[in-house]
Structure 1
């Protein structure tokens, strides 16, 4: 039986419910990451004994499941998307924004699907945008591809933010500090492609990079959806 199927205990003298427990856990995680979350610390935040929580949450993993589903409420579309591309585009950007608000989310995305009501509602809204457009297998592969891009991009961006805090250096400051080493390595002539990239490449902000990559992924999905069934992909000469 999942945590969503298990009833909460009867009301006791000190008001407590899963909603308050999850809100306290999210506040702790927002402040100090997942390592700051434990049933004992959540109980202390709520000013109750740790054993009180076990009537509502059996394990820390259940608590994490509830936390993720609570954040999925922030990812739900405000209105029905106009088409599949709008649905996936909105899902991607709302997920990124939620990840930046709750950096710990990056550590819990991926793996087995979340089965909470908000996560299921997000999935329903996404799949409904493909209704009648193509076969179910193609829809699932399309959603999986976009999710893989979004999760990878979010994890990379969060990792950079964490590195900035750990080192005290912004990306630009870190690049400047690493400059002498990179210059020496490029001067060996062993990395011509990398040298061209360093000298001629354009640096973009994370949001612009995310948006560009997402558009490329969605273009690839669109090509797959409009390609006649059975027609192989070909590469123009």
Structure 2
């Protein structure tokens, strides 16, 4: 039985329900990451005893599941685009923006199937973007491909943001600090492809990089959908 199937305990003198518990947990995670979230800390924020929370959820993992589902409400489209590409494009960018608002979400994306009401609604909106005449296995592979790109891209972006905060160096400052080392290595001639990338490649911001990569993935999906079956 999932946490969504299990009924909540009767109301106590001090009101406490899953909605308040999840809101407190999300606030803690937004402030200090997943390491800042525990049943004890959530209970303290709500001025309640930890044991009271266990009447509403059984494990810390269930709390994480509820938190993910809460944030997935921010990913849901307000209306369903008629075109599959526009639908997946919008879902991908809303996912990225949600992760940037809640960095801890990057640590939980893709870990387990999302069975909460909002997670299922996101999945439904994703699958419903495709024509019902499209083979369902093709749809599933297309959705997996786009999802894998989005998850990997946002995790890399959050990792870079965390590294920047940990070192206290901006991207440009980091490049200046490590530039002499990289220059010496490239001067050996052992890394010609890397040298070309460093000297001739265009440095783009994270949003542009995400959007470009997403377009390439969607182009690949479109090419596959255009192929005749068989």
Distance in 1 between the 2:57 and 2:113 partners? 20
1:133-152 paired onto structure 2 within 5 Å: 133-152=133-152
* Pairwise CA distance, 1:170: 1.2
Task: Give, in angstroms, the shift of residue 194 of structure 1.
Answer: 0.6
**Residue of structure 1 in register with 2:195 after alignment:** 195
User: What is the CA RMSD across the aligned residues, in angstroms?
Assistant: 0.7
Relative to the length of structure 2, the TM-score reads 0.98
Superposition deviation, residue 91 in structure 1: 0.7
Residue of structure 1 equivalent to 2:95: 95
Q: How does 1:72-151 map to 2 (within 5 A)?
A: 72-151=72-151
- Greater alpha carbon shift after TM alignment, 216-225 vs 166-175: 166-175
Gaps of 5+ in 2: none
Per-residue CA shift, 1:117-147, capped at 9, x if unaligned? 0000011111111132410000000000000
Shift >2 Å, 4+ stretches: none
Q: Secondary structure at the match of 1:75?
A: coil
CA deviation after TM superposition for structure 1 residue 148, in Å: 0.2
Q: Point out where structure 1 has 5 or more consecutive residues left out of the alignment.
A: 231-237
Equivalent-residue separation in structure 2 for 1:191 and 1:184 (angstroms): 11
Corresponding residue number in structure 2 for 1:172: 172
Count of residues paired in the alignment: 230
Residue matched to 1:183: 183
Secondary structure, aligned partner of 2:121: helix
Distance 1:133 1:193 in 2: 44
For 2:2 and 2:146, how far apart are their aligned partners in 1?
Answer: 28
CA–CA distance in 1 between the matches of 2:55 and 2:101?
A: 29
Distance 1:112 1:14 in 2: 33
Deviation of 1:179 after TM superposition, in Å, equals: 0.3
Render the CA deviation track for 1:133-168: whole Å, top value 9, x for unaligned: 410000000000000000000000000000011000
How far the C-alpha of 1:175 sits from its partner, in A, is 0.9
